[in-house]
Amino acid sequence: MKKYLIVGLGNPGPDYAQTRHNIGFDVVDTFVKENEGSFTVERLALRGEVDWKGRKFICLKPTTFMNLSGRAVRYWLDKEKVPVENLLIIVDDLALPLGALRLRGKGSDGGHNGLKDISAALGTERYPRLRFGIGHDFSRGAQVSFVLSHWDQDEVPVIDKKIKESIEVIKNWSVLGIERAMNVSNKKDKK
């Protein structure tokens, strides 16, 4: 059975639940719940599993804060013996419009401290990531409060729809590989 490590980025604790910065947690939560799984408290993360079409997805929500996500990712990659090309990080992105999804096989951290820490821990920027647009409707100097804010009521239907699309991206990536999945999901999202 082929193994994949799916890591949603976010901050632990109820104060951060359902915030823009925690969209990675929300995607992983939905993926595990839709497949009748649950999470257990493990070392450095909440861990769930999904079996789908002969594939095993180890799904993580790191219990370290966002800026220290690399430790959890490195530990679980090694523990589960998952190659880095079978790692997918799901992360919020201020540079993308609300709900836009971009699958990438590699890239810079784009100023995101969670990705920066993961790249440092892995010693490479060559790992797949799914960037989830959270918009950028904030005034100068208000970035931190914006990313830690909850969704506006009118945004919730868009976010719910895009979380479900994110799960399809995860499945496509596992079946098609990064290049073909990028072609499918990134083109679809631009329509």
Q: Choose the catalytic residue: 21, 112, 136, 150.
A: 21
Q: Please state, in angstroms and rounded to a whole number, the distance separating the CA atoms of residues 69 and 163.
A: 21
* Widest CA span in the chain: 49
The rounded distance, in Å, linking the Cα atoms of 132 and 111 is 15
DSSP of 20-55: GGGHHHHHHHHHHHHTT---EEETTEEEEEEEETTE
Q: Is 150 a residue of the active site?
A: no
> Catalytic site residues?
21
